[in-house]
Amino acid sequence: MTAAIADVVLVGGGLASAAAAEAIRQDGFDGRVTLVTDEPHHPYERPPLSKAVLMGDAPPDTAYVHAPDFYADHDIDVVTGDPVTGIDRHAGTVTTASGTERRFDRLLLATGARPRTLPLGAGLDGVVTLRTLDDSVDLGRRLGETRHVTIVGAGWIGCEVAAAARHLGAAVTVVDPLATPLQRVLGPRIGAVFADLHRANGVELRLGVGVTDLRGDDAVRQVVTSDGSTIDTELVVVGIGVVPNTELAERAGLGVDDGVLVDETLVTADPRIFAAGDVASAWHPRYGRRLRVEHWANARHQGAAAGRNLLGAGEVHDRLPYFYSDQYDVGLEYVGLAGTDDDVVVRGDLAAREFIAFWLADGCVTAAMNLNVWDVVEDLEAIVGSGRRVDRSRLADPELPLAEVRS
């Protein structure tokens, strides 16, 4: 199959594309590889954008996936600042905004996602989202100058930005319609741990209310919430989730349903076209349905698998979802996928913020999270991955080694 492939085009300049490019060359492919991104930068990783880079603790260039020479050394053409505007599947070409046409034998769609926005405060300065390196540098500067920031949304981005803003000395109010931060993923009991964490670090949480208006003249000055109260503020960060960038795939007639539809080998209905990372809604054999995972590890592993698969490897991508987060002095890893009704069993001390939480459905562990407990993720992956029933008391018993729980 490889012999027939001369041109590989990777659309998007995020981690998934970069990982694909790396894997393609590692596999010994000697045809042309072109990575096309609409951003002015070479591929970079996003997690530092809400952590060290945002806080000014690491320079922006530490976020790059590869050193600058990597692409030239591996004969990978990187085209920056030129979005792909169309795919002609019949001709086997992509067209970019500059009018350049490129042929492809294999194409990867790794266009990622963009932040959801609020239909409020149009034209007001100081209403921002966080997705790109430039967003992060700009937000870090603004946070350093602002006295008060309001963060809309207590998800991962909102929580991490709140922690960074406190680090930079700003007063912070977080607004979210749910009763605890991170409730959609962690549920109310573990969400309450994050409410305590943020309050202990001086964040004002306005939970159970939505934002109904943003007011100001040129710049935002006030946030209005659904209970009729107002928050005087100088900056608003909107962190209310993302929308996958599926438009190219849709226009090309590929299947799209909250993500580009691909099978477990990350191929679309067109055998030449693959998708990976935040934009991909991929069939997951374990769950028997498609998942679209918006996390770093997924972009890295799916990107690499897609790179190998577009050369013909046929590798099934069936890794458990995994993510991590850092907020203040708390670090966590989460593996698996819990349902909102799943039971929670805790090993350790919630109040001391040092524990492992397990989510269970029908006696089987669906997900696990280690918070300020380290070097356990392999055990947790084995416990979640086994799909076996596990006794709750064994999960909760801190004296019983996890290696025994998993065996």
Sites of contact with ligand FAD (CB under 6 A): 11-17, 36-39, 46-47, 49-50, 83-84, 110-113, 130-131, 157, 245, 248, 277-278, 294-297, 299, 323-325
Q: Alpha helices, DSSP H only, in 29-155? A: 52-55, 69-73, 133-145
Supply the minimum distance, in Å, between the C-beta of residue 401 and ligand FAD: 27
- Of 112 and 216, the one with the shorter C-beta distance to ligand FAD is 112
Supply the minimum distance, in Å, between the C-beta of residue 45 and ligand FAD: 6
Supply the minimum distance, in Å, between the C-beta of residue 219 and ligand FAD: 23
Q: Please answer whether residues 176 and 154 qualify as being in contact, where contact means their C-beta atoms are separated by less than 8 angstroms.
A: yes
Q: How far apart are CA 328 and CA 146, in angstroms?
A: 20
Least Cα distance to 72 among 25, 110, 108 occurs for: 25
Supply the minimum distance, in Å, between the C-beta of residue 324 and ligand FAD: 5
Supply the minimum distance, in Å, between the C-beta of residue 51 and ligand FAD: 7
CA quadruple 297, 300, 302, 304: dihedral positive or negative? negative
Please give the full DSSP string across 187-250, using - where no structure is assigned: HHHHHHHHHHHHHHTTPEEEES--EEEEEESSBEEEEEETTS-EEE-SEEEE---EEE--HHHH
- Of 38 and 234, the one with the shorter C-beta distance to ligand FAD is 38
- Of 39 and 270, the one with the shorter C-beta distance to ligand FAD is 39
Q: How far apart are CA 346 and CA 398, in angstroms?
A: 9
- Of 225 and 246, the one with the shorter C-beta distance to ligand FAD is 246
Supply the minimum distance, in Å, between the C-beta of residue 124 and ligand FAD: 22
- Of 216 and 336, the one with the shorter C-beta distance to ligand FAD is 336
Q: Which two tokens stand for residue 277?
A: 């990372």
Q: What are phi and psi of 393, to 5 degrees?
A: -65, -30
Sequence-ordered list of residues with C-beta below 8 angstroms from that of 375, at least 6 positions apart, any chain? none
- Of 12 and 216, the one with the shorter C-beta distance to ligand FAD is 12
Supply the minimum distance, in Å, between the C-beta of residue 37 and ligand FAD: 4
Sequence-ordered list of residues with C-beta below 8 angstroms from that of 369, at least 6 positions apart, any chain? 186, 190, 332, 333, 334, 335, 356, 357
Q: How far apart are CA 245 and CA 234, in angstroms?
A: 30
- Of 49 and 120, the one with the shorter C-beta distance to ligand FAD is 49
Measured in residues, the chain has a length of: 407
Supply the minimum distance, in Å, between the C-beta of residue 363 and ligand FAD: 28
- Of 84 and 380, the one with the shorter C-beta distance to ligand FAD is 84
Cα-based torsion angle of the residue sequence 297, 299, 303, 306 in order, rounded to the nearest 10 degrees: 100
